[in-house]
């Protein structure tokens, strides 16, 4: 199953060298909205809910975001950050958003 969502559909998280912020009807231009959850091993993870296709079009996919993130990791070897606690993950997401970090 690895590769089905991100590989075949060609979806990837925001990459500032390839994607532009887009209006997804969420109150302004968006590059990513992070969600906090758990990976398959029970570790806390922040992952994006905005995914971009090969043409650079953005999609807000909160229901599929966790599966996309874990699939993307399996295909690319790139990992989203893991945290010791939900509080730590939420704090990091808020800090990232306020500083506009990549």
Counted domains in the chain: 1
Q: According to the model, what pLDDT value does residue 7 have?
A: 65
For 39-91, write each residue's pLDDT tens digit: 999 999 999 999 999 999 999 999 999 999 999 999 889 999 999 999 999 99
Q: According to the model, what pLDDT value does residue 48 have?
A: 95
Q: According to the model, what pLDDT value does residue 1 have?
A: 46
For 39-48, write each residue's pLDDT tens digit: 999 999 999 9
Locate 19 and state its tokens.
């994607």
Helix or strand (DSSP H, E) at 64: none
- Closest residue by Cα to residue 39 from 20, 65, 62, 16: 65
Domain span at 24: 4-99
pTM, two decimals, is: 0.85
Q: Which whole-number Å values give the CA distances from 42 to 37, 81, 83, 90, 96, in the listed order?
A: 9, 13, 11, 16, 23
b/e burial code for range 81-95 (CB count within 10 A of at least 16 → b): eebeeeeebeebbee
Q: Judge contact between 10 and 44, C-beta under 8 A.
A: no
Helix or strand (DSSP H, E) at 72: helix 65-76
């Amino acid at each position: 199953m690895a590769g089905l969502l991100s590989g075949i559909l060609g979806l990837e998280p925001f990459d500032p060298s390839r994607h532009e912020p887009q209006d997804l009807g969420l109150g302004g231009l968006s590059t990513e909205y992070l969600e906090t959850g758990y990976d398959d091993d029970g570790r806390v993870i922040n992952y994006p809910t905005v995914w971009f296709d090969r043409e650079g079009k953005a999609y807000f996919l909160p229901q599929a975001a966790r599966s996309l993130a874990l699939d993307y990791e399996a295909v690319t070897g790139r990992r989203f950050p893991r945290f010791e606690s939900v509080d730590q993950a939420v704090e990091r997401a808020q800090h990232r958003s306020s500083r506009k970090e990549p």
